[in-house]
Amino acid sequence: MSDSLAYLEVDESVAIVTMNRPEKLNAINRELKAALISALKKADEDPATSVVLLRAKGRSFCVGYDIGGSAAEEEGSRHDAIKWHEILREAITFELTPWDMKKPVVAEVQGHALGGGCELAMMCDITVAAVDALFGEPEIRFSNAGPAIVMPWFIGLKKARELLYLGDMIDAKAALDLGMINKIVPAADLPVAEVTGLAREARAHGLRHQGITRALDKTHGDVRKVRTFSRHAKVETVLIYDDARKDEGGDITRMFDDDD
């Protein structure tokens, strides 16, 4: 199980999902993406657990999408609008996985949470970070942008614009002050009782039986945000396509036939 790029363990009623690519600082490639989605879905469906803890092996939670390997192959599709649109939709589906789960998800963040890793941490219900953790979305420095761009909903539009436009990182204290995370703990306490205890406390308060409350809290936001995410993917696709093949723009108009 520990050889998998993401695996599920159970500690009493807490499902623990671990990203396991520490040698690459848990950078997201196609294989990690698939393994993590699978592990989270299994955790959500397990009747023996009531809360999910998302953590990562190594010195960083996740540094975002891998710019080598399969990600480099995907980058080669940027000038094929249809392929790039599908890649963006897959990335959005991946990042929305914690948000769409029935059970509450607690994220345990150490080291770096950058790019897609930052968005993944924000999508969890509760995010606990080590005091020395760093957050940010530096994609702009690589002439790119995150697939979901959820930061404005969590920290407000003005500060999100600053961080997204400049690609700057912020420390855990700043992330806490902005509302990006819920709690800071000493780094030594992060992988032990502190976060697991929080997850158990959430379980003890009966969050398993508050599914209807969770659904009501998210219903309005889900409809609006998912459509926004999808349209962002479509707009970026059109811009890429327009730059590369201005004379063939009509080929992608079918992507705007619905709101999916």
Active site residues: 119, 139
Nearest CA among 51, 47, 60, 90 for reference residue 237:
90
Strands (DSSP E) contained in the chain are: 6-11, 14-19, 51-56, 105-109, 112-114, 126-130, 134-136, 169-171, 183-185
Q: What sign does the CA torsion over 96, 212, 38, 187 have?
A: positive
Count each helix (H run) and each strand (E run) in the chain, helices first.
10, 9
DSSP annotation string for 145-189? --SS--HHHHH-HHHHHHHHHH--EEEHHHHHHHTS-SEEE-GGG
Nearest CA among 171, 206, 184 for reference residue 126:
184
Cα 205 to the center of its chain, rounded Å: 26
